[in-house]
A and B are shown apart, each in its own frame.
Chain A
Amino acid sequence: MKKLLIGNEAVAWGLYHGGLRVISSYPGTPSTEITEFLSKHDDIHTEWAPNEKVACEAAFGASLAGARSACAMKHVGLNVAADPLFTLSYTGVTGGLVICVADDPAMHSSQNEQDSRHYAIAAKVPMLEPSDSAEAYAFAKSAFALSEEYDTPVILRMCTRIAHSQCTVDLGERENTPLKEYVKQPAKYIMMPGYAKVRHPLVEQRTERLKALAEDCAYNRVENHGSKIGIITSGCSYLYVKEVFGDSVSILKIGMPNPLPEKLIRDFAASVEKLYVIEELDPVIENHVRAMGLECTGKSLFSPLGEFSQQTIREAFLREGVRFGDAPEKQGEAPQVPGRPPMMCSGCPHRGMFYTLAKNHITVLGDIGCYTLGAVAPLNALDSTLCMGASVSGIHGFNLARGAETEKKTVAVIGDSTFMHSGMTGLVNIAYNATNSTVIILDNSITGMTGHQQNPTTGYNIKGDPAAKVDLEALCRALGIRRVRVVDPYNLKECEDAVKEELAAEEPSVIISRRPCVLLKYVKPKAPLRVDPEKCRSCKRCMGLGCPSISMKDGKARIDQTLCVGCGVCAQLCPFSAIGEGERK
């Protein structure tokens, strides 16, 4: 059956047809849809774990028990799952285990553009890297057999462009792979020094076997067109090279970036006069080629920053004086226009709390989620965003360094899902090592930024079925915080009172700012508000909210009737009571 699929859906089908039984993941753009698509199948287990380490370990447990298993995450998620990954390399697997990781060159929705290939090298596990959806399907499907045959977890590396691009995929059938028998194998699975010392040499031997496989496998291939120029490339860079050169240059296409095929590379290099390595992000293949003593041109011509395109390739080879087909001719230059950055939605429950913090000139250590948008104008409410959980852990250190000077005017903000992911341990540290820190949990009852995934605080699982629901208030108390209070972020006075009182308190505290994301289906918008132009004195106080519904027209504030959801926050700000529920159309 042929279907037009995004890369992530192709991975999902590949895993499913490869015999997947259990997948545990944490959402993260651009990897989220892999697990979402799989959750439509009822004959396998799919779940959102609280974080990537838990997800990877759940996949490990399922593999140990004999099931083909997987986990999926974005590149920074692999940092969180790195702990199990490195030792999984030693234990190997029983049921095949595939770790899907999606890099984000150009940082479309990430805080860095780290290159996951370093993990495969460091953990000494094989990595597969498809170039399009068709390969994503084929590689994902075959990864389980590779994992089992070589007794190793396999990393499947995606990137934003492949994860979210569609091409036609010819789908096969699901492999019937029975659950393997569980046999207790202490020397394989208990990684204490005595056993681990025995496993490490096996890892090195496995790498040698994988290197031999890399020389002759479906993942790597030479397209020999007898040209003087030879290009070693992988992932989406391959597509851009083909777009520019078609069949006019010889290409060594790498689908398995770890371990690399040394003989194949050496023979390819020998077959051409000039060797180029074209890869996004870090010079991983290039460094390997150079370490083999071969001359090549790579990062001196192609940036380690961002995404490539056919234009990148064209421009680089023009600089090299290399000829190829006609370059495109532009109609003209685009005029300069104002940017359109993403922003918090109309009625976003985070806005009221951020307005309160900005108004009171509070220092705010931020975290990862929609609420990172509190950083942008006009709220400018954030001071830092590092990684998942770093707001809560970070405020403790911040207050340790400056003591009472900052404790009274600094807060950490973190979302409900991010708090579950890695905020809890930071909060334990605040209570245990006693800083007078104030943490605000922005509980919008969903994992928002990645597109509405359930989490342990929502009361529903990945399929939308009722599930155990974490009681955040009770949890914070159990972690050692005595002052825990809940506020409605649509009520500015309540927010202000809570922030002032908890900052003044002589002990750590948690404020739970609770209101569901306005985009959730069950949240019904209220009637849009209107500005009475007679009463509006153009003070622009409402403009300070940064609400996309409010603008100034002819000197008066105006509320867009199609965007406004009637949250009422602006009405509380207006000193002239000019904003109210207008007549419905």
Chain B
Amino acid sequence: MKTTSIMIVGVGGQGSLLASKLLGNLLTEEGYDVKVSEVHGMSQRGGSVVTYVRYGDRVYSPIVTEGECDFIISFEKLEGARYAGCLRKGGKIIVNTQQIDPMPVITGAAEYPENVLEELKARGFDIDDFDALTPALEAGSAKSVNIVLMGHFARHSGIPKEKWLAALEKTVPARFLEMNRKAFDLGYGE
């Protein structure tokens, strides 16, 4: 099979590492050759973070470059737009409509492009935008935005929900499992 490439993007501290871990565990369990690449360090201090997940029969490169990405899963509006150039023709951007102002916006040096998702749609991007924060709070914590988003992505993944739930159980600490299951269900929808 052709290699599938996914980018998980967001703001440092939003929990994208756990999301990529969940996806990595699931895809490994499914028997794929999997590569996951993340960047630690400076990016943890509220900076832009990107994690790459690639799977298929045989995957060499751990990173995703321009025009290669099948799915961008974005934890924040601006970040979804930042990496849109990586999307392949026909790819999809799943984006949480949450807005987190970066420092240049906070200091007034730049403006947050309020209609950024509309602009992406106008440019022909396939955007699946939804509010992941409200269901995360409903599940019990703003921190579970990551699992809400993965639940939402699961519908597009072609992998049965029960496999996802098994991987979730393997990935998150037992004491947070119930909250995360709820977050996953809310993201997955009916």
Task: Give A residues with C-beta under 8 Å from B.
Answer: 2, 4, 6, 29-30, 32, 108-109, 132, 160-161, 164-168, 236, 239-240, 242-243, 309-311, 327-335, 337-345, 370, 373, 376-378, 449-451, 543, 546, 548, 550-552, 562
Q: Indicate if B166 sits at the interface (CB-CB under 8 A).
A: no
Contacts of A2 in B (CB 8 A): 28
**Judging by beta carbons under 8 Å apart, are B120 and A167 in contact?**
no
State which residues 84-118 of B face A: CB under 8 Å: 84-91, 101-113, 116
Among the listed A6, A243, A377, which residue makes an inter-chain contact with B60, where contact means beta carbons less than 8 Å apart? Answer: A243
Listed by A's residue number, 30 A-B pairs whose Cβ atoms lie within 8 Å are A30-B40, A30-B41, A108-B39, A109-B40, A165-B36, A165-B62, A165-B63, A328-B65, A329-B89, A330-B86, A330-B87, A330-B89, A331-B89, A332-B87, A333-B84, A333-B123, A338-B104, A339-B48, A339-B110, A340-B11, A340-B79, A341-B47, A341-B103, A342-B47, A344-B45, A373-B45, A377-B103, A377-B109, A451-B44, A548-B103
**Judging by beta carbons under 8 Å apart, are B103 and A343 in contact?**
yes
Contacts of A551 in B (CB 8 A): 101, 105-106
Contacts of B107 in A (CB 8 A): 377-378, 543, 546
**Judging by beta carbons under 8 Å apart, are A331 and B87 in contact?**
yes
Residue with the greatest number of chain B CB neighbours at <10 A, chosen from A4, A329, A334: A334
Complex Cα gap A339–B11 (Å): 11
The smallest beta-carbon distance between B86 and chain A, in angstroms, is 8
Complex Cα gap A166–B24 (Å): 9
Among the listed A160, A333, A370, which residue makes an inter-chain contact with B45, where contact means beta carbons less than 8 Å apart? Answer: A370
**Judging by beta carbons under 8 Å apart, are A335 and B120 in contact?**
yes
**Judging by beta carbons under 8 Å apart, are B105 and A338 in contact?**
yes
Q: Indicate if B81 sits at the interface (CB-CB under 8 A).
A: yes
Contacts A168-B34, A333-B84 supplied; 4 other A-B pairs, CB < 8 Å: A109-B41, A330-B87, A331-B89, A376-B103
Contacts of A376 in B (CB 8 A): 103
State which residues 23-74 of B face A: CB under 8 Å: 24-25, 28, 33-48, 60-63, 65-68
Contacts of B112 in A (CB 8 A): 338
Q: Indicate if B138 sits at the interface (CB-CB under 8 A).
A: no
Contacts of B63 in A (CB 8 A): 161, 165, 309-310
Complex Cα gap A434–B78 (Å): 52
Among the listed B25, B40, B116, which residue makes an inter-chain contact with A164, where contact means beta carbons less than 8 Å apart? Answer: B40
**Judging by beta carbons under 8 Å apart, are B37 and A166 in contact?**
yes
Contacts of A370 in B (CB 8 A): 45
Chain A interface secondary structure, helix, strand, loop or mixed? loop
Task: Give B residues with C-beta under 8 Å from A.
Answer: 11-12, 24-25, 28, 33-48, 60-63, 65-68, 78-79, 81-91, 101-113, 116, 119-120, 123-126, 142
Look across to chain B and name the residue whose beta carbon is closest to the beta carbon of A8.
B40
**Judging by beta carbons under 8 Å apart, are B62 and A239 in contact?**
yes
Look across to chain A and name the residue whose beta carbon is closest to the beta carbon of B13.
A345
Complex Cα gap A180–B78 (Å): 58
Complex Cα gap A4–B24 (Å): 7
**Judging by beta carbons under 8 Å apart, are A338 and B111 in contact?**
yes
Look across to chain B and name the residue whose beta carbon is closest to the beta carbon of A333.
B85
**Judging by beta carbons under 8 Å apart, are B38 and A164 in contact?**
yes
Residue with the greatest number of chain B CB neighbours at <10 A, chosen from A160, A337, A451, A548: A337
**Judging by beta carbons under 8 Å apart, are A331 and B88 in contact?**
yes
Among the listed B65, B104, B109, B110, which residue makes an inter-chain contact with A310, where contact means beta carbons less than 8 Å apart? Answer: B65
Closest 10 CB pairs of A and B: A109-B41, A328-B67, A342-B47, A311-B65, A338-B110, A342-B45, A340-B102, A29-B41, A330-B67, A165-B62
**Judging by beta carbons under 8 Å apart, are B84 and A332 in contact?**
yes
**Judging by beta carbons under 8 Å apart, are A335 and B113 in contact?**
yes
The smallest beta-carbon distance between B69 and chain A, in angstroms, is 9
Contact status of A345 and B45, CB under 8 A, knowing A339-B104, A340-B103, A552-B108: yes
Among the listed B45, B81, B108, which residue makes an inter-chain contact with A334, where contact means beta carbons less than 8 Å apart? Answer: B81
Complex Cα gap A59–B60 (Å): 34
Look across to chain A and name the residue whose beta carbon is closest to the beta carbon of B25.
A4
**Judging by beta carbons under 8 Å apart, are B61 and A164 in contact?**
no
**Judging by beta carbons under 8 Å apart, are B119 and A548 in contact?**
no
**Judging by beta carbons under 8 Å apart, are A339 and B102 in contact?**
yes
The smallest beta-carbon distance between A15 and chain B, in angstroms, is 20
Among the listed B39, B125, B142, which residue makes an inter-chain contact with A562, where contact means beta carbons less than 8 Å apart? Answer: B142
**Judging by beta carbons under 8 Å apart, are A164 and B45 in contact?**
no
Contact status of A331 and B125, CB under 8 A, knowing A337-B82, A377-B103, A551-B106: yes
**Judging by beta carbons under 8 Å apart, are A342 and B43 in contact?**
yes
**Judging by beta carbons under 8 Å apart, are A310 and B37 in contact?**
no
**Judging by beta carbons under 8 Å apart, are B78 and A337 in contact?**
yes
Contacts of B11 in A (CB 8 A): 340
Contacts of B105 in A (CB 8 A): 338, 551
Complex Cα gap A332–B34 (Å): 27
Residue with the greatest number of chain A CB neighbours at <10 A, chosen from B25, B85, B126: B85
Complex Cα gap A543–B89 (Å): 42
The smallest beta-carbon distance between A358 and chain B, in angstroms, is 13
Contacts of A166 in B (CB 8 A): 24, 34-37, 62
Among the listed A168, A329, A332, A345, which residue makes an inter-chain contact with B28, where contact means beta carbons less than 8 Å apart? Answer: A168
The smallest beta-carbon distance between B87 and chain A, in angstroms, is 4
Among the listed B45, B85, B87, which residue makes an inter-chain contact with A343, where contact means beta carbons less than 8 Å apart? Answer: B45
Contacts of A337 in B (CB 8 A): 78, 81-82, 113, 116
Look across to chain B and name the residue whose beta carbon is closest to the beta carbon of A311.
B65
Contacts of A329 in B (CB 8 A): 67, 88-89
Complex Cα gap A161–B41 (Å): 13
